[in-house]
Structure 1
Amino acid sequence: MVYDESIGYISRMPRKKLADAESRLLAAGLSLFAHQGTERVNSNAIARRARLGVGTFYAHFPDKHALLREIQLRTLAAIRIARLDALTDPEGDPVAQVRGSIEAVVCFAGQHPEAYRVTFGRERTGASHHGPVVSESSRPMAEALRTLQDAARIAPDLDVDLAARAYLSMEVGTLLWWLEDPRRARAEALVDTLVRLHPVTACASPGCSDSS
């Protein structure tokens, strides 16, 4: 308790945040969003699953959509780090770099299916009414494709911005399909197929007459 001279009475000190409260709320929210969807989940349910009071929830997040966005941003950051870690030789063979990047994201999706689905699946569009849609930026891929294009490694008439957007959309859709039932395809086959469909590989093939 503390005496506040400005208002002339004794008030309560703000409660300290529990050290692990945020991580517990994120884990609870992820599980509920993945299995019930955003619309069926509310702040009370998340706090209850985390075994915390709803007041603790609001001490960390203004609403469930803010918590969802935090989950999505953390997932995107983890995927970005995984892709970068896979680039053992940035100056090496572009196709090998592509394979490493795809192996990294397939591995991440397989190990964290709930986080991947909540970030890129139906919950992604559901959160669009409460702020910009969270998605993996296609800019790094477009810049890499442009560099290869300048070096005459891929077709000069390829629209690299469109190619990057199209590939990432296809990659996400394919991984979401796979996560519905991983028995549909082996992870190795999934990687091989995505590598073959990647603009670097597709436009470096003999069928791409403008590449060299």
Structure 2
Amino acid sequence: MAGRPQQRTLETRRRILEATQALLAEQGFEATSVETIAMRAGVAKATVFAHFDDKTSLLIALRLNQLEELSVGLRQMVDALAADPLRKDALGEVQALLAPWLALYREDPDFARLFLIQSTLKDGLHTRQFIEACSGMEAEVSRALSILAARGALRPETEVALLTQGVMAFYYHVIVGFNLCHIPDEAQQTALMQGLLARLL
């Protein structure tokens, strides 16, 4: 059982995250300041920084549980692919792997922007966890492509490492398009991703 100091720490962290989530929903990431978050949570600004490196870390922390669930689900999907030698539909398999991740970035444009600029983010615990989740996702896509290549489900001349980079480039492209409103809805994003992958796979 957690002691009282630890319980207070967890309670403070919960209040900060709840305040952040509410404010982001009300006014967006750019308009939300750490001062406003602290006031809404009923804590000092220094307390917010004691728990989180910066505002970006707060946004990432709100999504870490979801990222972990997506990462676990992705590993399970690739494990299931590996276990069934009859599965050879490369286009369908890759689309299915990417769909939950695209949905995450569709529902939260601010979080999508963090994904797109991840190489420039300030180092910190939450940032490292976020980047590890993104890297893990790419590694699982590569593993799936390796499995499909071994089954002859890809073009004979395919280099898996290069193909993985192509898939990820298309993945970035449709996230950017949706984020900038060039791709207006989920159906068009899905159709574009399918069309791009069909040419690649």
Tell me which interval the TM-score lies in, with the shorter structure as reference length: 0.5 to 0.7
**Residues 141-156 of structure 1: pairs in structure 2 closer than 5 A:** 141-156=141-156
Structure index of larger Rg: 1
Query: Are residues 1:22 and 2:17 paired?
Result: no
**Residues 93-172 of structure 1: pairs in structure 2 closer than 5 A:** 93-118=89-114, 120-122=115-117, 124-128=118-122, 134=131, 136-137=134-135, 138-172=138-172
| 1:49-84 per-position Cα deviation (integer Å, ceiling 9, x unaligned) | 433333542453355565455356445324435646
Identical pairs, percent? 17
**Residues 37-56 of structure 1: pairs in structure 2 closer than 5 A:** 41-42=33-34, 44-56=35-47
CA RMSD after TM alignment:
3.9
**1:194 CA displacement:** 0.8
Q: Conserved in 1, the CA contact under 8 Å of 2:59 and 2:111?
A: no
**1:121 CA displacement:** 3.3
Classify 1:141/1:178 alpha carbon distance in 2 versus 1 (closer, same or farther; 3 Å). Answer: same
Aligned residues: 184
Q: TM-score, normalised by structure 1?
A: 0.63
The equivalent of 1:8 in structure 2 is none
Q: TM-score, normalised by structure 2?
A: 0.65
**Residues 48-87 of structure 1: pairs in structure 2 closer than 5 A:** 48-61=39-52, 63-64=54-55, 66-67=57-58, 70-71=61-62, 73-81=64-72, 83=74
| 1:111-164 per-position Cα deviation (integer Å, ceiling 9, x unaligned) | 33333333x134x34424557682612211112111221222112332212321
Q: Conserved in 2, the CA contact under 8 Å of 1:82 and 1:104?
A: no
Whose helix proportion is higher, 1 or 2? 2
Indicate the SS of the match to 1:98: helix
Gaps of 5+ in 2: none
What amino acid sits opposite 2:168 in the alignment? L
Distance 1:109 1:79 in 2: 12
Which deviates more, 53-62 or 135-144? 53-62
Q: Larger relative CO (CA 8 A, sep 6+): 1 or 2?
A: 2
What amino acid sits opposite 1:180 in the alignment? L
